[in-house]
Amino acid sequence: MLNFSKINIFLIYFIFLFISLFSILNFQSKEQILIEKKVNLGLDLQGGSYLLLEINSDPLVKEKIQSKVIPLKKMLKDNELNYSDFEIQEKKLTFFLKDIEKLELLFFSKKENLLNPYIDKYNSFELDLKILDNNKVEVLFSKYGLLTINNSALKQSIEIVRRRIDDVGTKEPTILQRGDKRILVELPGLKDPERIKNLLGKTAQLNFRLVSDNEEFGVDKLISENGEALNVSKRIIMSGENLIDAQPNFNNQSNQPTVSFTLDRMGAQKFGRATTDNVGKRLAIVLDGKIVSAPSINEPITSGNGMISGNFSFQEATDLALLLRSGSLPTPLDIVEERTVGPDLGEDSIKSGITSLIIGFVLVILFMIYKYKIFGLVANIALIANLIMLVGVLTILEATLTLPGIAGIILTVGMAVDANVLIFERIKEELKTEKSIIHAFDIGYSKAKITVLDANITTLIAAVILFAFGSGPVKGFAITLGIGIITTLFSAYFLARHLTSIIVLNKKEGEVRI
């Protein structure tokens, strides 16, 4: 156990130096960046915002069920099924029909049915058919259909939330799915949490609709930006899906902030046709059911470029452009939990963590030197090397260090010393019976190995379980603890053992105290 080949020695110190070099990257200045890797500070250490968002898929279900009206009516008509009292309700379609048996046969057997494009070998129907009294029929989404809508909305929402946050310029955000309907957003170092909340809280569904002079059927009464009540046609000329880009700008004439937008080819054609046919009328630009602007169409706009004006500040124009660029959310997002950590509190947490680590580290060093003399010094060197390697591995992984993560590092200090204590106490026992010092140290390391491995592997299993099933700070603790266990075993059974072998082999003829 005390014999090391030159190759083994080279590998031990090469691995140590290689990993240790990465820990230095955390101290490099922005002007002298060699490799862009560092340990990131978590929300509780540098301050910022924590938001737990939940999608509300009810409006999307209503929209989706309305999209089934035309296919359903077409199916009934093509199969000569006479219906009456067709109604669109909140999340279902209802009508009366005489030939119920024929409808059931069509609904559940024809795989080419437009209403069920997702039929597969497991008979996972998108829609359910319910037959009520008096031949009343209800068509609504099945559990499979609702789950499909929900999963699609959640994935799309996560992507759009990511785009909006990236556009703001927030560094190192954490955006994760939590459960079936929730999105976790952590924004370390955020200085303006209210702005982010406003951006994430808007679905940003943009559409262009004509203002109507009559209170006729097919209009919505909406309020404009200056408080004017307008009758707006329900017919959408163009939606925000046709936007390629949107940027904040200034109107040269009024010197007011505006939002300039560019349309794709299809959008430019729609917009050009609508403005050509409706010169002199007003065009309402509607965002999330509210009129942002309602300018008059003075001339046809066929270039595919336009401008949204209103009583904006430059910040509001910037945020509106950001929302339009990132796309509209498929469903509204509700904030179900919110926490904000100030930078001062984060700084205090760092100071407290570092102070506790230094105190524990110094006490351990003094105890080991007092208890094991020169071999205590070897254990302390291994302990310092262990911490440097731990920081190096965290840097390689670009891990996020949290306050519980610092607790994991402090626990690693104790476990690293524990491994050396077990080894040295075992060597003490062997020195009482063995005449050969080298043989005593060799047997001591061999017999203590199983005990040290058992203790660290069981702790490593616990760390893996915490990482797999925990969240947020718990994961941070598990990561530092798990990495700390691996670096502890390396420093104890390679670095410390090699340094011990140098001392023992040089004093093989003399007396060694431990």
Is the pLDDT assigned to residue 192 strictly greater than 80?
no
On the question of pLDDT at 47 being above 80, the answer is no
The pLDDT of residue 113? 46
User: Which whole-number Å values give the CA distances from 223 to 210, 239, 286, 452, in the listed order?
Assistant: 14, 19, 10, 73
pTM: 0.66
Amino acid identity, position 144: Y
Mean pLDDT score, 392-418: 85
In the structure encoding, which two tokens stand for residue 333, read together?
């997002």
Kindly report the CATH class assigned to 49-57+152-339.
alpha beta
- Return the domain boundaries, the chain: 6-47+343-506, 49-57+152-339, 59-147
Fold that domain 6-47+343-506 belongs to in CATH: Multidrug efflux transporter AcrB transmembrane fold (1.20.1640)
SS (H, E, C) 160-226: HHHHHHHHHCCCCCEEEEECCCEEEEEEECCCCHHHHHHHHHCCCCEEEEEEECCCCCCEEEEECCC
In the predicted model, is pLDDT for residue 123 greater than 60?
no
CA distances from 10 to 316, 424, 443 (A): 61, 25, 24
* Mean pLDDT of the 28-47 span: 73
Considering the chain, what is the average pLDDT of its residues?
A: 82
Cα–Cα distance, 147 to 44 (Å, whole number): 35
Rounded CA separation 151/145 (Å): 10
The answer to whether 138 touches 129, Cβ cutoff 8 Å, is yes
Query: At 468, which helix (H) or strand (E)?
Result: helix 437-469
Mean pLDDT of 381-389: 91
| Overall average pLDDT of the 330-351 stretch | 78
Alpha-carbon torsion (91, 96, 100, 105), positive or negative: negative
Question: What is the pLDDT, as a whole number, of residue 390?
Answer: 92
Could you tell me which residues are beta bridge partners of residue 87? 94
Specify the higher pLDDT residue, 215 or 223: 223
> Which pLDDT band, with edges at 50, 70 and 90, does 53 fall under?
very high
Q: Residue 75's pLDDT band (boundaries 50, 70, 90)? A: confident
Q: How far apart are CA 483 and CA 421, in angstroms?
A: 20
Give me the residue label for tokens 């929302």. Answer: 323
Looking at per-residue confidence, does 183 or 3 come out higher? 183
For residue 117, the model assigns a pLDDT of 45
Residue 121: pLDDT band with limits 50, 70, 90 = very low
pLDDT value at residue 118: 38
